[in-house]
Structure 1
Amino acid sequence: MAVSFDLFGTLVERVDAGGDDPAARVGAELSARDVAVPDDWAAAYRERHIDAPEGAEVPLPAHVSAALASRGVDAPGNAARRAVVAAFDPEIRTRPGAVDAVAAAREVGPVALCSNCSVPELVGRTLIRSELSRGDFDAVVSSVGCGWRKPACEMFETTADRLDAVPGDLVHVGDDPRTDGGIEALGGRFVDVADVPLSDLADELGWDG
């Protein structure tokens, strides 16, 4: 058995004080880097600017650069990337039971993190600020890194491959049946933390401690 965990909403929770308007947050960070933010930035941010295959991840800096370009604005150098990273610099808390759940999963097989995240560096920064660490996982797979978003089969296939497992042997623990439940299309198993709390995961995986 191999086990993968979703990150946001499953192992950690965001407690950002920056508000829940991503366009405004990115716009503020662009302005701080002397990028001329269009008057209709909120609309530009919401529009689709990059054609990508179904299920593919579009890195947020690429989307932001394309949104600016659609309004005739150039973001010099890596200003778009730096603005995005700063806009989503995480303030998080580790969910109760998360550390023990990951430890229990390690007792039954290899463990991965499998997270939808279009912001570069965000998964790594989140782990650093949590009670978990990169060393708790045999593999860390983010959508911005692998190019696919859950529920795309490709993301689960990448995760299983990095654990030297087959997707049908993968148990994926998450909080969103629409995305995390995609493992079931490959014959794997989805464990919803709404039904099985992290504190009960050891029993669910058959580890008797």
Structure 2
Amino acid sequence: MAVSFDLFGTLVERVDSGGDDPAARVAAELAARDVAVPDDWADAYRERHIDPPEGAEVPLPAHASAALSSRGVETPNNAARRAVVAAFDPEVRTRDGAVEAVAAAREVGPVALCSNCSVPELVGRTLVRSELSRDDFDAVVSSVGCGWRKPAAEMFETTATRLGVDPAALVHVGDDPRTDGGIEALGGRFVDVDDVPLPELPDELGWTG
């Protein structure tokens, strides 16, 4: 058996006070890099500018660049990427039982992080600021890295491949049945932390002796 964990909302929670308007956050960081933010930036940010295959991830810097380009604004020196990364620089709290749950899972088989995240570097920065570390996982798979978003089968298949198992052997722990529950279409098991809280997970799944 192999186990994968969702990150945001499952192992960690964001606690930063940057506000709930992502367009405004990105706009502030663009302006700080001398990018001329359009007056209708909020509208441009909400519009669809890239048409990916079903289930594919659109990296947020690519979306931001396309939104600016649609208004005739250029972004030299990788400014869109740098602005997006800065806009979502995380402050997080590790959820109760997260460290213990990951450690218990490692006792029964390989463990991965499997996270929907369209912001480059965000997963790594989040781990650095949490009580977990990259070394706690045999594989770290993000949607911005692999190109697919849960519930797309490709993301779970990538995770399983990196752990050296069949997707049907994967137990995926998450907080969103709509996305994390996609593992069930491949024969794997979804465990909802709303039903089985992290502190109860090792006993519930028989990971403790």
Shorter-chain-normalised TM-score: which range?
over 0.9
Q: CA deviation at 1:77?
A: 1.6
- Structure 1 gaps of 5+ residues are none
Q: Given the alignment of the two structures, is residue 165 of structure 1 paired with residue 177 of structure 2, yes or no? A: no
8 Å Cα contact 1:108/1:205 also seen in 2: no
Q: CA deviation at 1:204?
A: 2.4
2:84 counterpart residue number: 84
- Structure 2 gaps of 5+ residues are none
Q: Normalised by the size of structure 2, how large is the TM-score?
A: 0.99
* Residues 5-38 of structure 1: CA deviation (Å, up to 9, x unaligned): 0000000000111101000000000000000000
Alpha-carbon distance in 2 for matches of 1:105, 1:27 = 41
1:149 counterpart residue number: 149
1:197 counterpart residue number: 197
2:107 counterpart residue number: 107
Alpha-carbon distance in 2 for matches of 1:104, 1:197 = 14
Q: CA deviation at 1:47?
A: 0.4
* Residues 96-121 of structure 1: CA deviation (Å, up to 9, x unaligned): 00000000100110000000000000
- Count residues with an aligned counterpart: 209
Q: What percent identity do the matched residue pairs reach? A: 87
Q: Normalised by the size of structure 1, how large is the TM-score?
A: 0.99
1:26 counterpart residue number: 26
Alpha-carbon distance in 2 for matches of 1:35, 1:3 = 43
* Residues 67-123 of structure 1: CA deviation (Å, up to 9, x unaligned): 000000001121000000000000000000000000010011000000000000000
Look up the equivalent residue of 2:203 and give its one-letter code: D
Q: Secondary structure at the match of 1:178?
A: coil
Alpha-carbon distance in 1 for matches of 2:88, 2:105 = 29
Alpha-carbon distance in 1 for matches of 2:18, 2:132 = 24
8 Å Cα contact 1:105/1:205 also seen in 2: no
Q: Secondary structure at the match of 2:141?
A: strand
Alpha-carbon distance in 2 for matches of 1:26, 1:11 = 25
2:47 counterpart residue number: 47
* Residues 190-209 of structure 1: CA deviation (Å, up to 9, x unaligned): 00000001011112221233
Q: Map of 1:121-160 to 2, 5 A cutoff? A: 121-160=121-160
8 Å Cα contact 1:115/1:143 also seen in 2: yes
Look up the equivalent residue of 1:55 and give its one-letter code: G
Large movers: runs of 4+ above 6 Å: none
Alpha-carbon distance in 1 for matches of 2:120, 2:190 = 26
Q: Given the alignment of the two structures, is residue 180 of structure 1 paired with residue 193 of structure 2, yes or no? A: no
* Residues 123-176 of structure 1: CA deviation (Å, up to 9, x unaligned): 000000000000000000000000000000000000000000000000000000
Alpha-carbon distance in 2 for matches of 1:70, 1:202 = 50
Q: Secondary structure at the match of 2:172?
A: strand
Q: Given the alignment of the two structures, is residue 74 of structure 1 paired with residue 82 of structure 2, yes or no? A: no
| Structure 1 vs Structure 2 CA RMSD | 0.5
